[in-house]
Structure 1
Amino acid sequence: MHLSQRGRSPITRLAAGFAATALGVGLSLTGTPPAQAAASSFCSDGTQPYASVADVEAFAAGTAVTGLSVTSGTTPSPFTGTYIGYIADALGKNKDLLLFRLHSDVIDGTGSDALKPAGIWAGMSGSPVYTTDGRLIGAVAYSLNADNLPVAGVTPAEYMRSIGTTALGTAARVKVTSSNLNVSAEGAKVAGTSLTGASLSQVKTVNVAGPAGARANAFTNRVLARTPKSAKASSFLRSRSFLPAAAERSISAPLVAGGSIAALYTSGDLTLGAIGTVTAVCGDSVYAFGHPMNFLGRTSLGMANASTALIVPDATGSLGSYKQVSVIGTPIGMVTQDRSVGIRGTIGAVTSYGIDVEVRDASGAPVGSYHADVAFPDAGPSSVADLAGQAAYEQLDADWGGTGKVDWTIGFTRADGTAQSLSNTQAVADPEWFPEVAGDYPAEDLYAISSNPFEDVTITHVAVRITLLSADSLTYEPSGVQLKRSSGEWSSLDGVTLKAGRTYSVRPEYTLVKNGKPTATTSTGEPISVKLSKKARKAGWFSVSPASDGANLCDPDTDVCDDISDEGGYFSFDDLLSSLQDAQSASGVVGELHYRLTRGSSDRSYSWDGPGVVTGATEADFSIRK
C-alpha cells in the first residue's frame, strides 16, 4: 500500500517520495531510520530532538523504535517496537495517528517473572517512543484492547509540542477503515492482525480516588457520582470508574520521560485524579498522556510523581491491563493545559485550597482529623462530601447508620478582594446513609457559593467538624401535643374542649425512633403559651412537624443518591449567603394552630428546637366553647 504524504505541496511530496525510496533500501537492510542532518527540537531550549510526522510516515514497515515506561517503582524500563503505518486524519484534519507494534517482557508476557501478556496497559498513555538515534516520535496514546494486543496508536511529538497553542479536535475512538489506513503489506505482517474495521481507543489513565477496601471504594464512587452535572469534568467525576488511591508520600525521584505522572484534582487524605506517563520534560515544563484527560483546555490540577507496584495483566482480554500504583507523591507543580493531544504542566508552585475535617466523640473529644487540598475548584463540593463522609465512615467503622452534629465554615474571597466566611450547623441522623448525609450539608453550601451566578468568588478554606453522638440512627417523631391542666398535670390535647378567650400552655411530645423503629422512650419540648380569640368557635387543631422537608438523600433500591445541588432563586450574592445562613435545621420543629372564628378562621405558627433530627408529624384536634 502506498504511504501517501498528505497536506504538502507537490514539490514537497515529490521530495518526500524520493527520500522514502532512498531510505527504503537502507531500512530493508538495517531496520533503522537514518540519522538526520539537522533534527528539530521538541523543547524550546534546543534539547530533545524529535522526528516530524513526515519523517516517520516515510519509514519502511518494520523500522525499529524504542520506548520507555515504568513497570515497577519510578525508574522507566525500555521497550522496543516496529513501525506499522499510520491512520490518516485520525486526530483531526491533516493530523495522523502513527501505528507501532511494541515488545517487552511485560507487554508480551515473556521472561522468568512474567505473568500474562499485558499488551498496552491503562497508565501507559504518554509513554515516549523514540527512533533508534534518540529522536522523540511521540506518545503511546491509543490501543486495541481486545486480547491484549500490543498494537499502539502513537500521538506524534510534532503535535504535542504545540499543546496550549493550537486548536485540535479530539478523538476518543479512532475507527480504522480501508480509506484512512495507510499500511503496506509488510506493515500488515508487522501488525500481526488485521486492522481494517478495528477501533483504537484512548489508552485509559488509571483513575484513582479515596482509600482502599471494596466498601470504602464503593462509597467514594457513589459520592463522586453526585457531582453536579454542570461542573467541569463532571463526566469524569461521575463515572464510577475510580480504583482506590495509593497513599500520598513524598517521592524524591524527579519526573522523567517514561516515568509515571499523577494529575490530581485533590491530594492529601483524599487523593483524586488520573495516572499516566510522562512523554517529555523540557526544563520545568512536563508533557504527558498523548490524549486529553478531560479535554478542558485550560485547567488546574496538581502534578505529582507516582511509584508503580506492578503491571496487572488482564487475563480476560476484555477489561484491559492496568498499572497498579503503590505511592502517589506530594504535588510538585500544576497541570495547566488539558488538550486533545496531551496534558502539559509546570514544575513549581502549587495552587489549591484546604479542606479540614475533624471528628469528635459524644463527649466532644477529638478522635480523628483529615486534610485534603483541592487544586480543581469544581471538584470542591464532591470532595468535601467525600472527605467528611469518609471521616465519619472510618471513625464509626461502619458504612451504615449513625447520629451526629455537623458544623462547618467556608472561607472565601469576594470579587472586590473582601475576605468573608459562612458558618453553619446541622443535626444529622440516618439509618442507612449516615456518611453520605454527614457530608452533604457543607458540600451543598460550598456548591451554592462557588457556582453562584452573581460574582467571581475564590474559595480559600473549608473546615468541617463532625460530632458523633451514636452509632445508631436516633430520630424523634412528633407523637402528640400535650396540654397543661389547671392541676399542673400534662395530658393529651387531642379531644379536649377549650374555652374561647383563654390562654393555655401546650408542648410537643416525641417518640424516640432507633434505626427506623419506634421505641417506648418519649420526651417533650418546651411549653409555649397559646391564647384563643374570644371569637373562637366550634373546633380547631394543633399540628407539629419538622421545619425542614427531610427528603431521603439516597435510594436504597438503586444505590443512587441525589446530586449535590442548590435550590437557587436568589437575587444577589448577599441574598444567597443570607438564605444559606437561615436554612432550616433538621432538628427544627414547627407548630401550627388553626381554629374557626365567628367569621373566618385564625392561623398562627410557633417553633421549637427539637431534641435531635425530627421526622414525621402529628396533629391534635380540639373543640371550642364560648
Structure 2
Amino acid sequence: MTIAAAAVTTFLSGIGLAAPASFAADPTVAPIACPDTFPTAEAVDGVAGVGWTVERGTRPSSFTATVLGRVTDGIAPGVDMIMADLDSPALTRAGGVWAGMSGSPVYAKDGRLIGAVSYTLGMNTSIAGLTPAASLKALLGRQSETSKVVKGTERVAVPARELDALAATREVTEQEAASTGFRRLEIPVTVTGSATAARKALSTSGRGVGGLRVVSGGASGTTSAAAATEVVPGGNFAVSLAYGTWTAAGVGTTTMVCDGKAVGFGHPVLGFGVSANTAHLADAVYVQRDEVNGSYKVANIGGIVGTVTSDRTAGVMATLGEGPKAVPVTSRLTADDGTVTATTTWCTEPYYVDRAAGFHLLSSIATVQGADASGGSAALTTRITGVRGTGTAFTLTRSDHYGAVRFLGEEIAKPVMDTVWALADTSLENARITGVTFSGSVSETVRQYHVTGVAVRKGSSYVTVPKVITAKPGTTVRVRVTLGDLGGFTTKNVVLAVPVPAKTRGWTGSIDLALGSQGLDLSASSYAALLTSLRNAPTNDLYLGELTLENPSTGRVTRSTVSRRLNGEVTPYTRTLRIRVG
C-alpha cells in the first residue's frame, strides 16, 4: 500500500467509512479533509471524478462525475462554472441532483478537488454545475479577490459551444439546455416548531429570501454542542438562522475541513459576506423525490459545531468549535390549568430576529394549547431589549390582551414581529436587538369584543347620539359604548367620562372614540421618537375618547384624553362625535 493510500484509509477509518468496492483500485478518490486543488483550466470534457454526499443518515456515499466542460465566468467574474454529469444509485432514486447536495465535493482520480456541486441543469437531471476548487479554498484565507465577491449568479446560461456536450448525455436536448440554463441549487430549510410557523417561515411580510425552500417541520432544534471532528467532507452541514423552540436551518454538504475551518455549500446561504450564524451537524432522514419542483433532502438538525463567519459567492466558511453569540428569545406562558410552559429560541442572524421572535411565540402558544389553529385569548407582556446606534441600551415593554376565534397564535405573533422589525430594521440608527421575552397567560376561552352601539347620557338616561352634542362648560359628557362578544351571546357597557373645560362657552369640536389597536405609527424622525411612539401606541384592550375644542373667534385649541382598559381584546373601532359648548 502506498503512503497516500495508507493516509486515506486512516482518514476513512477515523470517520467510520470504508472505501467503496468500485473504487478499491484507486483509494485516493475517497473523501480527503483538506485536498489539493485541481486547476480549473484542466477541468475539460472527459475528466473523470468521484464525489461524496449523504442520501440518508450521516455517512457519505459516492457518486461518479464526468466533466462536460466549463462556462467561463459563469458563477461570477473570474469564477468559472464546471459542468459535470453525475451518476449513482442514490441519484437514480432521486431522479437527479437534489437540494441539499450543495457543497458535495468532487475529486479527480489523483485525489485533487475539482469542485463542489452547487448548480443543476433544471429539475430532475443528473447534470450539475460545480464551483471550482480554487474559489472554495480561497474562502479559507481570503487568498483571492474571488472569495470577496458576495453577489454571484443564480442562473447560468449555457454557451452555444457547450450545448453538444450536454445533449450527448441524453439528459437534455440542446434546446432545453439553451432555454433552461443552470440554476443555483435550492437550500432545503428544516423548520421546527408549530406547523403554522413552519408553513409561514421565511415569507412573512414579503421579507423572504430567494433560494431557501422550507421543506419540513418537526421537533425543536438542538442547543447542545457536538464534536467538531464529526464534520467531514461529503457529510451533512447545516447553517441555522435560529435554533431551539423554533429552528430554521439550511442543509447542505461539507466540502473540505482545513486547520479547524470547514467550507461547504459551494454557493451563498444568505450571501451577506461577513456572517455570524451557527454551524450544525445534521442527520438526513431521506431524499424526497419531487418530479415537479425538484427533489430535496429532509434532515434533522444536530449539535452545534462552530460559527459561520463567511457567507459568499463560492460558499460558506465556518470556524469549528464554539457557536456564535446569539439573541435569546424566551417565553413563560401559563395555561388555564396552571401549567407553565417555558421555552427558548436562539437567533444569530439579525435580519431574522423579528421572525425568530414571532415564530417562537407562535410555536410556544401552540405548545400550550396543544393545537396550531386553536382560538382563545391571552394576556401577554413583551419585553424587548437592545442597543441603539449611540451605544445606549434601551428596553421596550408592552402589555396587551389578544383574542381570536381561530389562530390565536397568528393574531399575537404578527404585531410582535412588526414591533421587533421596526426597532431592528430602521434607517434611523444602526440599532440591534439583544433579547426578547414573553410572559403571561393563554386561555382557550375567547375574550374578544366588538362595538354594537354608542349612546350619550342625557339627564338620568342614555339616548342615541345626536348630530351635535350640547354640553355646558365645566360639566362631564358621558359616552356609553356597548360591546358584544363575537358570538353575540353576551354584552357589556363601558362608559367614558369626558370632562368639558371651564371657560369654553361657544367653543365647538369633537369627541373622537378609538377602541382597540389602530396599528403602529412608524413615521418617527428619530430613534428616541420611535421608542416613544411604540411605548405609547394604543393596545388591543384600550378604549379612549379624545376631546378637541376650538375657539371660533381666536382659533385657540384645547385637547384632552380619557381612556380605560378591558380584560380582553376589542376589535378596532373609530367614531367621531360632534360637540358644541353652550
The TM-score normalised by the length of structure 2 is 0.81
- Aligned residue among 468, 471, 475 for 1:503: 475
Deviation at 1:606, TM superposition (A): 3.1
Does the Cα contact within 8 Å between 2:549 and 2:559 map onto a contact in 1?
Answer: no
Q: 1:220-619 counterparts in 2 under 5 A?
A: 220-221=200-201, 224-227=202-205, 229=207, 234-236=208-210, 241=214, 243-244=216-217, 247-249=220-222, 254-314=230-290, 316=291, 318-325=292-299, 327-349=300-322, 350-361=324-335, 365=338, 367-396=340-369, 397-399=371-373, 401-415=375-389, 417-432=391-406, 434-472=408-446, 474-477=448-451, 479-483=453-457, 485=459, 491-492=462-463, 494=465, 500=472, 503-504=475-476, 506-514=478-486, 517-525=487-495, 527=497, 529-530=499-500, 535=505, 544-546=513-515, 548-549=517-518, 567-593=521-547, 605-611=560-566, 612-614=568-570, 615-617=572-574
Deviation at 1:481, TM superposition (A): 3.8
What is the aligned partner in structure 2 of residue 560 from structure 1?
Answer: none
C-alpha separation in 1, matches of 2:498 and 2:155: 68
C-alpha separation in 2, matches of 1:448 and 1:461: 15
Deviation at 1:415, TM superposition (A): 4.6
Does the Cα contact within 8 Å between 1:483 and 1:504 map onto a contact in 2?
Answer: no
What is the aligned partner in structure 2 of residue 158 from structure 1?
Answer: 134
Would the alpha carbon gap of residues 609 and 68 (structure 1) be closer, same or farther in structure 2, given more than 3 Å must change? Answer: same
Deviation at 1:493, TM superposition (A): 7.0
C-alpha separation in 1, matches of 2:414 and 2:172: 51
Which has the larger Rg?
Answer: 1
Would the alpha carbon gap of residues 341 and 497 (structure 1) be closer, same or farther in structure 2, given more than 3 Å must change? Answer: closer
SS at match of 2:276: strand
C-alpha separation in 2, matches of 1:175 and 1:438: 45
Deviation at 1:299, TM superposition (A): 2.2
Task: After superposing the two structures, state which structure 1 stretch, 251-260 or 503-512, moved more.
Answer: 503-512
What is the aligned partner in structure 2 of residue 138 from structure 1?
Answer: 115
C-alpha separation in 1, matches of 2:504 and 2:194: 68
C-alpha separation in 2, matches of 1:403 and 1:441: 15
What is the aligned partner in structure 1 of residue 6 from structure 2?
Answer: none
Deviation at 1:247, TM superposition (A): 4.0
Matched, 1:49 2:18: no
Post-superposition CA distance 1:133-188 (Å, at most 9, x none): 22111101111244x221221111111111345244612111213235584xxx86
Post-superposition CA distance 1:552-584 (Å, at most 9, x none): xxxxxxxxxxxxxx7433343333322222222
Would the alpha carbon gap of residues 51 and 240 (structure 1) be closer, same or farther in structure 2, given more than 3 Å must change? Answer: closer
Post-superposition CA distance 1:119-138 (Å, at most 9, x none): 11110111001112221111
Deviation at 1:203, TM superposition (A): 1.8
What is the aligned partner in structure 1 of residue 16 from structure 2?
Answer: none
- What is the letter of the counterpart of residue 510 of structure 1? T
Q: What is the total number of aligned residue pairs between the two structures? A: 539
Deviation at 1:331, TM superposition (A): 2.4
- What is the letter of the counterpart of residue 545 of structure 1? A
What is the aligned partner in structure 2 of residue 113 from structure 1?
Answer: none
SS at match of 1:123: coil
C-alpha separation in 1, matches of 2:550 and 2:186: 69
What is the aligned partner in structure 1 of residue 183 from structure 2?
Answer: 201
The TM-score normalised by the length of structure 1 is 0.76
Post-superposition CA distance 1:189-217 (Å, at most 9, x none): 4566445525111122112323364x553
Post-superposition CA distance 1:41-83 (Å, at most 9, x none): x99xxx42221112333xx62x432111011111111222323
Q: 1:61-80 counterparts in 2 under 5 A?
A: 61=46, 63-80=47-64
C-alpha separation in 2, matches of 1:80 and 1:597: 87
Deviation at 1:417, TM superposition (A): 4.6
C-alpha separation in 2, matches of 1:432 and 1:483: 37
Does the Cα contact within 8 Å between 1:278 and 1:286 map onto a contact in 2?
Answer: yes
Would the alpha carbon gap of residues 139 and 415 (structure 1) be closer, same or farther in structure 2, given more than 3 Å must change? Answer: same
**Uncovered stretches (5+) of structure 1, i.e. residues with no partner:** 1-30, 37-41, 110-116, 551-565
Across the aligned residues of Structure 1 and Structure 2, the Cα RMSD in angstroms comes to 3.7
Would the alpha carbon gap of residues 93 and 619 (structure 1) be closer, same or farther in structure 2, given more than 3 Å must change? Answer: closer
Task: After superposing the two structures, state which structure 1 stretch, 587-596 or 434-443, moved more.
Answer: 587-596
Deviation at 1:384, TM superposition (A): 1.1
What is the aligned partner in structure 2 of residue 5 from structure 1?
Answer: none
Deviation at 1:533, TM superposition (A): 5.5
Post-superposition CA distance 1:472-516 (Å, at most 9, x none): 25124262345385xxx65447469977457346253332222xx
What is the aligned partner in structure 2 of residue 11 from structure 1?
Answer: none
Would the alpha carbon gap of residues 599 and 572 (structure 1) be closer, same or farther in structure 2, given more than 3 Å must change? Answer: closer
SS at match of 2:73: coil
Does the Cα contact within 8 Å between 1:97 and 1:155 map onto a contact in 2?
Answer: yes
